[in-house]
Amino acid sequence: MDFELTEEQRLIRNVVREFAQGEIAPRAREIDETGEFPWEILKKMAELGLMGLPFPENYGGAGADTLSCLLAIEEIAAASGSVAITYNAHLSLGAVPIYMFGTEAQKQKWLVPLARGEGLGAFALTEPHSGSDSAAMKTRAEDRGDEWVLNGQKMWITSGSVARSFVVAAKTDPAAGVHGVSNFIVPADAPGLAVGKDEPKMGMKGSPTNQLYFQDCRLPKENLLGRLNEGFKQFMLVLDAARITISAMALGLGRAALEQSIKYAQEREAFGQPIAGFQSIQMKLADMATELEAARLLMFKAAVMKERGERITKIAAMAKVFATEAADRVCWQAIQIHGGMGYSRELPVERFYRDNRLTLIGDGTSEIQRLLIARHLLKEV
Ligand SMILES: Cc1cc2nc3c(=O)[nH]c(=O)nc-3n(C[C@H](O)[C@H](O)[C@H](O)COP(=O)(O)OP(=O)(O)OC[C@H]3O[C@@H](n4cnc5c(N)ncnc54)[C@H](O)[C@@H]3O)c2cc1C
């Protein structure tokens, strides 16, 4: 087993780390405080070729492998959770479904501009009354002969107010349950689509999250993504892969909290010595580092299995639930190590904690990840 990164993986990680620490980290606090959308940062990320990182060059991408993309997401998250979730939703939820299930014409029309960074992608599955229970969605797409007509409402859509295009799940055969769902590519300017206000949130404040309202929203027939009534299966596959990327976000936020804590523990003095001299602080730092290392290994394994084309539902759920909850504990301890300053908005650890909290909820809650793991275990025995 080889735990060394390839030269290309190291290069991508180093380039993104330099960019994230040089251009994103210095602005992260301001982005969190103003909630302003960081368009200039995303423009620079497009110039670096990051917005299409995993896609082949003929679709405007850079052809990077799974692990390289995870390393890039981790580095961006270590600088700003808001930029990381915007980037991650764009790649893993907005663009990947088109790459995985789109026709050649759809890829040219919708994927290429996303990969080139000419606009952001987003994914609309959740509704006011259906989150974990996504099969209970009410949004409907009716076949009106020469077009599709969508009616319904989506909720908690990352980049709702800034996206160029959405992949939207809707019922096409309501009586057929999970076998009656299809996905559609919906441009942000589709007639009949309205976007709600930016939701006020605990963290990820520079990432707008919105409701979408579809009222007789008309779409050309060619905007159906993949086969009719196979939408549920499609977004389950998309979410499997996306869950590994959430583990990368949590790793980035947790790592940043640990690095900040190591620095602070060596600088801050109490009882005549740096607090790093106290064993109780050392134990905390050791546990934080060990948990993040274990999370990293799960993420690596999930990445290797995905790259080999293996089924990743169980390992991706394990990587997500472990990394996100490990990062939650790490950020919690980071605040404790910082004492009163941990609770202050002057230092970034409280932001890491708030931003990371989302990773235990989005793309399937911790409870749903455990259900998926258990289902696989019980089927396996
Ligand atoms: C900031 C943010 C960004 C988001 N971005 C997007 C996006 O871009 N696109 C999108 O489609 N969605 C997005 N979401 C929605 C997110 O995926 C859902 O919030 C999440 O899946 C949980 O759904 P819910 O909020 O309806 O909670 P619910 O499903 O109502 O769950 C409430 C609680 O019940 C638990 N629960 C539910 N069912 C079970 C069960 N069977 N067994 C045990 N426990 C259960 C849950 O784990 C949770 O603790 C986003 C959410 C947030 C907060």
Assign 3-class secondary structure to 119-183.
Answer: CEEEEECCECCECCCHHHCCCEEEECCCEEEEEEEEEEEECCCCEEEEEEEEECCHHHHHHHEEE
132 Cα to the center of ligand 1, angstroms: 5
Ligand 1 centroid, distance to 88 Cα (angstroms): 17
Choose which residue among 86, 88, 126, 201 to substitute to test ligand 1 binding: the one with the highest number of ligand atoms within 8 A of its C-beta: 126
Gap from CA of 233 to ligand 1 centroid (Å): 18
Protein residue with its CA nearest to atom 29 in ligand 1: 132
Which ligand 1 atom sits nearest the alpha carbon of residue 201? Answer: 1
Domain spanning 7-120, CATH class: mainly alpha
User: Could you identify the atom of ligand 1 that is nearest to the CA of residue 159?
Assistant: 8
Question: Of all protein residues, whose CA lies closest to atom 37 belonging to ligand 1?
Answer: 132
Residue 269 φ/ψ region, left for φ over 0, alpha for ψ in the -120 to 50 degree band, beta for the rest: beta
- Could you tell me which residues come within 8 angstroms of residue 346 by beta carbon, excluding any fewer than 6 positions away? none
Is the pTM above the cut of 0.95?
yes
Angle between helices 313-337 and 279-307 (to 10 degrees): 160
Q: Is 302 left (phi over 0), alpha (psi -120 to 50) or beta?
A: alpha
Atom of ligand 1 nearest to the CA of 154: 11
Residue 210, strand partner residues: 157
CA distance 125 to 102: 18
Ligand 1 centre from 179 Cα, in Å?
Answer: 21
pLDDT string in tens for the chain (381-residue length): 888 999 999 999 999 999 999 999 999 999 999 999 999 999 999 999 999 999 999 999 999 999 999 999 999 999 999 999 999 999 999 999 999 999 999 999 999 999 999 999 999 999 999 999 999 999 999 999 999 999 999 999 999 999 999 999 999 999 999 999 999 999 999 999 999 999 999 999 999 999 999 999 999 999 999 999 999 999 999 999 999 999 999 999 999 999 999 999 999 999 999 999 999 999 999 999 999 999 999 999 999 999 999 999 999 999 999 999 999 999 999 999 999 999 999 999 999 999 999 999 999 999 999 999 999 999 875
Q: Which atom of ligand 1 is least distant from the CA of 365?
A: 47
Task: Enumerate residues lining ligand 1, CB below 6 A.
Answer: 89, 93, 122-126, 131-132, 156-158, 201, 204, 209, 358, 361-365, 367-368, 371
Which of 125, 135, 132 shows the shortest CA–CA distance to 169? 125
Other Cβ atoms within 10 Å of 61 Cβ, number: 23
How far, in Å, from the CA of 133 to the mean position of ligand 1? 8
Q: What's the pLDDT score for residue 2?
A: 85
Neighbours of 5 (CB within 10 A): 16
In this structure, the residue with its CA closest to atom 48 of ligand 1 is: 365
> CATH number of the domain at 232-380, out of 3.40.190.10, 1.20.140.10, 3.30.70.660, 1.10.3720.10?
1.20.140.10
Which CATH number, 3.30.870.10, 3.30.360.10, 2.40.110.10, 3.10.20.30, labels domain 122-229? 2.40.110.10
**Predicted local confidence at residue 214, as pLDDT:** 98
What is the distance in A from the centroid of ligand 1 to the CA of 127?
Answer: 10
Q: Ligand 1 atom closest to Cα of 368?
A: 47
Separation of 361 CA from ligand 1 center, angstroms?
6
Which ranges of the chain does DSSP label H, i.e. alpha helix?
7-19, 25-34, 39-47, 66-79, 81-88, 96-101, 104-106, 112-115, 231-267, 279-307, 313-337, 349-357, 366-380
**What pLDDT shows up at residue 381?**
56
For the chain, domain boundaries: 7-120, 122-229, 232-380
Ligand 1, from 365, 366, 370, 371: best to mutate by most atoms within 8 Å of Cβ? Answer: 365
Strand pairing class (209-220; 193-195): antiparallel
Indicate which atom in ligand 1 lies nearest the CA of residue 125.
11
Residue 201 CA to ligand 1 center (angstroms) comes to 14
Exposed, middle or buried, 275 (CB in 10 Å: 0-12/13-18/19+)?
Answer: buried
Contacts for 120 with CB less than 8 Å, ≥ 6 apart = 42, 86, 89, 90, 94, 114, 159, 162, 163, 164
Instruction: Find, among 264, 185, 197, 193, the residue nearest to 231 by Cα.
Output: 185
Measured distance between the N- and C-terminal CA atoms of the chain, rounded to whole angstroms: 27
- How many Cα atoms within 13 Å fall on the side-chain side of residue 317? 19
Distance 156 CA to ligand 1 centre (A): 9
